[in-house]
Amino acid sequence: MYTPLPINTAENIKTNINTAFGGFATDINSTLQNNILPLENKMNSLQNVVETLIKELNTVHTFNRKLVFKLLVLEGKFTQEQVDNMITMINSNDGASVELAKEILKNEGYEYIF
């Protein structure tokens, strides 16, 4: 049968709160402590995997771009000198050069290179 807790004094209220929530808070604390470190390790591991995948994708993208440029030279769409200039423009730190190279390729129908 249910027996109500006495709550008529400040001390009883404090005791009742500690009784009701003290164990809960301790359980939450220990659960958090037990799960945060493994979760942090998993997140660091996941971040390393993502960074590796991004590097590999950039490598593949760069390789594919070089292949497309070689094909454009072989098909006679651009001369080797023009392709070399576009590659220099693309790898430039100057934003205007990069945009010009993109615009040249876009006008020729090769915007997919980027």
Give the pLDDT of residue 83: 92
Extents of the domains making up the chain: 10-113
Rg (the chain; Cα; Å): 32
- With 70 as the cut, is the pLDDT of residue 9 above it? no
> Over 90: is that where the pLDDT of 11 sits?
no
Does the model's pTM come out above 0.75?
Answer: no
* Residue 37: per-residue pLDDT: 66
Helix (H, G, I), strand (E, B) or coil at 75: coil
The pLDDT of residue 8 is: 55
Q: Summarize pLDDT for 41-99 with one digit per residue, the tens.
A: 777 888 888 899 999 998 998 888 889 899 989 999 899 999 999 999 988 899 999 99
20-51 confidence digits (pLDDT tens): 555 555 666 666 666 666 767 777 888 888 89
Q: Which residue has the tokens 């590659």?
A: 87
CA distance 42 to 75: 49
Give me the pLDDT at residue 70, please. 92
